[in-house]
């Protein structure tokens, strides 16, 4: 019986490798990888001119995105409808990008707001931010069960996901040790893996897979590498890479792409956030290739997320081509410039619609 089981496992492994070889093709010296179109399960699109500028970048590569609600004022159901309409208007012609909107959970959010959100079929989830944990998050909840228990019960009834930005904001905790319950440390990797499968999962950003806190201070202070949760020690980065490239279903793509105009980054109180929409897929491919795990990339980018949320997988495809290209130094708009992650550097993978 054991021998038969081992043989079946070996056959399953062989078939997976054959399927992978079919998707990974070499044309001359160029290598191409065809993936189910990815989704971005953690994205900031802002509003106004900034939204109009950045929406096409995400729509070029991703089929869906969970859009974060930490705007001013915090997003309610009515605001989510309006914001979604703005996103759809900013899409390139022919785009099928689907923004999944979220509510901002505050101490005044009511169970009726959850009912309204679910009935409207625009709001997908509710976001919990500790006060001050991210941009425009000062109205976050301080006493979750004391103020929001009825709301949480209503969410359970309507099967509405709770998205948690779990980060310590206590000023007595060192800034580099905050976020120990966010997926930026080995501690949070262990926490997610300890939970019952299907109930808790985590998105992972390209910046926390590729960068450690040293890049904040290379040469001089580097404001465009500043994000929240802040980048961590190398030992934590390695732990996250190991977990993500292992093929575990609990982890999936979420860029936490957070655009800011250049002047809001390069100032005495610079904003936190890394803009990575155009480079994210290339950087994830870099991580998986360096780990010898390109065969597990598609599950991370395209399958684990919709499977966890009970949504259909995308039917469209996207190609990743092994070719060198230079990231623009900046993206210029009428309101100013946005500096992308890895600005001016050369990457070895490039995304292209299939």
Distance CA 169, CA 151 (A): 23
Helix (H) or strand (E) holding 274: none
Q: Of residues 39, 42, 61, 224, which has the active-site annotation? A: 42
Q: Which residues pair with 226 in a beta bridge?
A: none
Catalytic residue of the set 44, 224, 236, 296: 44
Q: Which one is catalytic: 39, 57, 61, 127?
A: 127
How far apart are the C-alpha atoms of 295 and 245, rounded to whole Å?
Answer: 9
Q: Counting Cβ atoms within 10 Å, is residue 233 exposed (0-12), middle (13-18) or buried (19+)?
A: middle
129 part of the active site: no
Is 40 labeled as catalytic in the residue annotation?
no
Q: 177: number of CA atoms within 13 Å, CB side?
A: 5
**Residue pointed to by tokens 């009935």:** 119
Catalytic member of 57, 129, 182, 296: 182
265 is catalytic: no
3-state secondary structure of 2: helix
The yes-or-no answer on residue 57 being catalytic is no
Does residue 61 carry a catalytic annotation?
no
- The active-site residue out of 165, 208, 226, 232 is 165
Asked if omega into 229 is within 30° of 0 (cis), the reply is yes
**How many C-beta neighbours within 10 Å does residue 327 have?**
19
Check 40, 57, 232, 256 and give the catalytic one: 256
Backbone φ and ψ for 8, nearest 5 degrees, come out as: -65, -40
Label residue 121 exposed, middle or buried (CB < 10 Å: 0-12, 13-18, 19+). exposed
Q: Are 313 and 302 contacting, i.e. CB atoms less than 8 angstroms apart?
A: yes
232 catalytic per annotation: no
Distance of CA 264 to the CA centre of its chain: 22
Question: Catalytic residues, which ones?
Answer: 42, 44, 127, 165, 182, 256
């Amino acid at each position: 019986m054991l021998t038969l089981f081992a043989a079946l496992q070996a056959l399953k492994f062989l078939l997976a490798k054959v399927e992978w070889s079919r998707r990974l093709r070499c044309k001359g010296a160029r290598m191409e990888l065809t993936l189910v179109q990815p989704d971005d399960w953690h994205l900031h699109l802002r509003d106004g001119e900034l939204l109009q500028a950045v929406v096409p970048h995400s729509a070029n590569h991703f089929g869906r995105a969970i859009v974060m609600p930490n705007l001013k004022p915090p997003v309610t159901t009515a605001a989510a409808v309006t914001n979604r309409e703005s996103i759809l208007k900013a899409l390139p012609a022919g785009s099928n990008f689907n923004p999944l909107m979220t509510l901002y959970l505050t101490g005044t959010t009511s169970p009726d707001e959850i009912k309204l959100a679910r009935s409207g079929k625009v709001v997908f989830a509710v976001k919990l931010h500790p006060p001050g944990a991210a941009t425009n998050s000062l109205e976050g909840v301080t006493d979750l069960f004391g103020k929001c228990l009825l709301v949480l019960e209503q969410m359970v009834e309507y099967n509405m996901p709770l998205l948690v930005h779990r980060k310590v904001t206590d000023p007595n905790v060192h800034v580099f040790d905050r976020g120990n319950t966010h997926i930026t440390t080995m501690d949070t990797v262990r926490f997610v893996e300890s939970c019952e499968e299907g109930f808790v999962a985590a998105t992972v950003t390209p910046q926390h897979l590729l960068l450690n806190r040293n890049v904040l201070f290379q040469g001089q202070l580097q404001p465009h590498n500043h994000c929240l949760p802040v980048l961590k020690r190398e030992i934590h980065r390695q732990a996250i890479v190991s977990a993500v490239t292992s093929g575990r279903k609990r982890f999936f793509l979420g860029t936490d792409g957070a655009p800011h105009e250049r002047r809001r980054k390069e100032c005495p109180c610079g904003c936190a956030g890394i803009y990575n929409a155009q480079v994210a897929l290339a950087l994830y491919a870099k991580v998986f290739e360096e780990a010898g795990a390109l065969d597990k990339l598609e599950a991370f980018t395209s399958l684990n997320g919709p499977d966890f949320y009970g949504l259909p997988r995308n039917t469209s495809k996207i190609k990743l081509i092994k070719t060198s290209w230079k990231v623009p130094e900046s993206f210029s708009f009428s309101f100013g410039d946005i500096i992308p992650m890895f600005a001016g550097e050369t990457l070895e993978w490039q995304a292209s619609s299939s």
